Amino acid sequence: MVKNEDLVFTDDLTKVFNRRFLLRRMKEEIGSAEKNREEFSIILMDIDHFKIVNDSFGHLAGDEALKLFAGFLKDSFRKNDIVCRYAGDEFVIILPVSDIKRSMKSGKRIIDLLDKKEFSLKSVGASIKLSTSMGIAGFPEDAKTPRELLKIADKGLYEAKRMGGGRIIKHRELREIDKEIILNFEKFVGRNDTLSLFKTTLETVSRGEGKVLFVTGEIGIGKTRLVKEAMRYADLIGFKIFEGRAHSQKIIPPYFLFGSLIENIVRDFDTKMLKKVMKEISVWQKGLRWIVPDIHVSNGSEKGIKDETGEIQKHYLFEAITRFLGEISKYGPIFLFLDNLQWSGEDDIEVLSYVIRNFAKERILITGAYRESEIGDENPLKHLIRSFSQGGLIEKIALGSLSDGETRELISVILGLWDVPPDIVSFINGITEGNPFFIIEVLKILVEKGYVYKTGVAWNFLKVKEMVLPERISDILKEKMESLSHEARNLLMTASVIGEIFSLENLRFITEENEGYLIDLLDEGLKKGIIFEATGGTGEFCFAHRMMQTVFYNSLSGGRRSFFHRKVGEMFESFHKDKDEKLEELAYHFRNAGQDEKALSYYLSCAKKAEDVMVYQKGIELYTEAV
């Protein structure tokens, strides 16, 4: 027979403990820990993007997912750990006699287990993947009351969500300079019709029909953000997601886009399955080796192609890539995202053209993003889009500006405010022309300048006529840069020479400063939203937008720019004993450093490398530039 107390303290839906029990038990744990001089921790977690589950499958399926997730937590934590449902899709785990370090390991283990698990929703006949974000707090290190422990854990959870989810974060109290209004940039807003198209296309692909969607629009319009939102749904319904990204740097390796895409697949794909894939593509393996030298190739696969003509070798390479992707898709549908296609070389566009023509029956969605304004009539990408659009092989999505209603919704979500004054919406839309990136940047400045401010829980707005903002977005970004301390500004100028992505290790080499000092300066950039930390805790950082990197780079004097290019080149020489890995970067940086002899040597090596993989036009261009 069920005891009345069990009913009082058990969550009706998930059958784990409820919030009432949580608060009582936390008080008991505090008393026990104080008496025995012990520590304990709590983990506050929620399911990443759970709204997508409800929106896609309905609330009954959402309830089923919550039950399954709660059962997974009970089975995965220690027997003496206490699982409680806190609210909605939020859960709290009490970990008795467990310090922060040990509890962090427990949380990471759960995240790793979730990455390998699928949940079967019998009510809708679908399998989904779930991930979680976690915040953690420890007694007595962080706080000594239930309320304060939950508050600290909640801040960590918020930071984990802001960094992309799928991680556990321990919040550290902010210094005085960091005590700013917290804005919410996590939630995706608008583009409902386009997301519906993505969902329909993903469902078609999962049934065995390959598709290509190209998203175009001006800088900052939200192409990549839209695709990332579609990826969340794809991940939910069992797609494997892989990305490749073209770079604007003038000198790039041959087949850079597809080489980086295949490297990402090899890195992230299941090792046992990958061996089976390589076995299936048999004699085609050597083609992959030309652009991904580290890929495993079985004995005998290199025979029979070395002495063929260049065109036959090129066909061999393209077929190898196509067959590799096809075999990968047999282990589950795949979502390939190729970003910044406007910067792709002719070699990568040739591969893309070949793959699109030959993958129709594979479970593959290829999504490309590019800026129409940056591809001229003679650009090979332009020819590909025109040709394949007419043949129905590519569906093109042109993103426009946000409407007033979408702008209002975006501002509302960022501020956490239900009713945004219409004149504020019109003012921001007038400056930004409905460009989401610019809307966010303008809103940040309005808050920083005190035009939009908070008293208690209420937001206040100065009258529009009292607001003075820079006229151009480049001026807005410069103001943002100048809001940093002199030291942080100089550090990010240095980082801008390395590229859009840089690491702490890079900055230590170039500046010769200690790690703690550099982290403090990078924190300024993180708090201002100028840079963000790459996922996976790799110590890498990205500029929030390429325009931001350009503003920092253009602020350097010619002499300092040359100096840092030389330092970056020397860094790559020091870090990479096999110089072939970084030939293009070395040529680029030493050329901009004015070190002509070194640059010439690397240019010639780049040209030879292009020639070796049949990208003859690029080889000719590099030889010409070297001379």
Residue 536 reports pLDDT greater than 60: no
**Once rounded to an integer, what is the mean pLDDT over residues 374-386?**
87
**Once rounded to an integer, what is the mean pLDDT over residues 260-265?**
89
Q: Give the Cα separation of 551 and 507 in Å (integer).
A: 19
Q: Give the Cα separation of 49 and 416 in Å (integer).
A: 18
Q: Which residue has the tokens 């990136």?
A: 437
- Quick one: DSSP state of residue 282? G
Which pLDDT band, with edges at 50, 70 and 90, does 341 fall under? very high
Q: Select, from the ranges 34-38, 94-98, 500-504, 529-533, the one with the highest average predicted confidence (pLDDT).
A: 94-98
Q: What is the pLDDT of residue 446?
A: 78
Query: Which amino acid would we find at residue 272?
Result: K
DSSP string of 539-583, one letter each residue: SEEEESSHHHHHHHHHTS-HHHHHHHHHHHHHHHHHH-SSGGGGH
Q: What is the pLDDT of residue 72?
A: 95
- The residues, ordered by sequence, that sit 6+ positions from 30 with a Cβ below 8 Å of its Cβ are 139, 144, 145, 146
Q: What is the pLDDT of residue 351?
A: 92
Angle at 31 (CA atoms; ends 26, 37), nearest 5 degrees: 115
Which pLDDT band, with edges at 50, 70 and 90, does 483 fall under? confident
C-alpha dist (Å) from residue 31 to 17, 99, 140: 20, 16, 11
Query: Which amino acid would we find at residue 347?
Result: D
Tens of pLDDT, residue by residue over 387-443, are 898 878 899 999 888 888 888 888 888 877 777 778 778 888 877 778 888 888 788
The chain-wide mean pLDDT, for the chain, equals 83
Residue 27 reports pLDDT greater than 70: yes
Query: 3-state SS string over 381-410?
Result: HHHHHHHHHHCCCCEEEECCCCCHHHHHHH
Smallest CA-to-CA distance from 575 within 514, 506, 491, 508 is with 506
Q: What is the pLDDT of residue 2?
A: 46
Q: Give the Cα separation of 53 and 59 in Å (integer).
A: 8
Q: What is the pLDDT of residue 378?
A: 83
Residue 544 reports pLDDT greater than 80: no
Going edge to edge, which strands form the sheet with 334-339? 240-245, 334-339, 364-370, 211-216, 395-398
- The alpha carbon of 88 is separated from its chain's Cα centroid by a whole number of angstroms, namely 26
Smallest CA-to-CA distance from 609 within 247, 246, 294, 251 is with 251
Residue 176 reports pLDDT greater than 50: no
CB contact at 8 A, 355 and 325: yes
Q: What is the pLDDT of residue 345?
A: 87
C-alpha dist (Å) from residue 341 to 184, 370, 545: 30, 5, 16
Q: Poorest-confidence range of 110-119, 169-178, 378-387, 494-503?
A: 169-178
DSSP string of 177-238, one letter each residue: GG--------S--S-HHHHHHHHHHHHHHHTT--EEEEEE-STTSSHHHHHHHHHHHHHHTT
Q: Which helix (H) or strand (E) holds 337?
A: strand 334-339
Residue 138 reports pLDDT greater than 90: yes
Residue 171 reports pLDDT greater than 50: yes
- Quick one: DSSP state of residue 299? T
Q: What is the pLDDT of residue 515?
A: 81
Q: Is 578 exposed, middle or buried (0-12, 13-18, 19+ CB in 10 A)?
A: exposed
Residue 96 reports pLDDT greater than 70: yes
Tens of pLDDT, residue by residue over 468-482, are 655 566 676 777 788
pLDDT, greater one: 581 or 128: 128
**Which tokens belong to 474?**
């480049």
Q: Give the Cα separation of 620 and 543 in Å (integer).
A: 33
**Which tokens belong to 206?**
């999962």
β-strand partners of 542: 501, 532
pTM for this predicted structure: 0.68
Query: 3-state SS string over 338-384?
Result: EECHHHCCHHHHHHHHHHHHCCCCCCEEEEEEECHHHCCCCCHHHHH
CB contact at 8 A, 322 and 364: no
Residue ranges of E strands in 6-107: 40-47, 82-87, 90-95
Residue 576 reports pLDDT greater than 80: no
The Cβ of residue 11 has, within 10 Å, a number of other Cβ atoms equal to 20
CB contact at 8 A, 544 and 559: no
Q: What is the pLDDT of residue 179?
A: 41
Residue 625 reports pLDDT greater than 80: no
The fraction of the chain above a pLDDT of 90, given in percent, is: 32
Residue 498 reports pLDDT greater than 70: yes
The fraction of the chain above a pLDDT of 70, given in percent, is: 87
As a residue count, the chain comes to: 627
Query: What pairing do the DSSP bridges indicate for beta strands 531-533 and 540-543?
Result: antiparallel
The torsion region of residue 9 among left (phi > 0), alpha (psi -120 to 50) and beta comes to alpha
- The pair phi, psi for residue 478, each rounded to 5°, is -65, -40
**Once rounded to an integer, what is the mean pLDDT over residues 349-356?**
93
Q: Give the Cα separation of 562 and 571 in Å (integer).
A: 14
Residue 552 reports pLDDT greater than 80: yes
The Cβ of residue 173 has, within 10 Å, a number of other Cβ atoms equal to 9
For CA atoms 492, 495, 496, 499, the dihedral sign is negative
β-strand partners of 502: 541
Q: What is the pLDDT of residue 51?
A: 86
- The alpha carbon of 365 is separated from its chain's Cα centroid by a whole number of angstroms, namely 18
Query: Which amino acid would we find at residue 385?
Result: I
**Which tokens belong to 276?**
């089976």
Q: Give the Cα separation of 538 and 139 in Å (integer).
A: 29
Which pLDDT band, with edges at 50, 70 and 90, does 110 fall under? very high
**Which tokens belong to 501?**
């992505």
First to last CA, the chain: 89
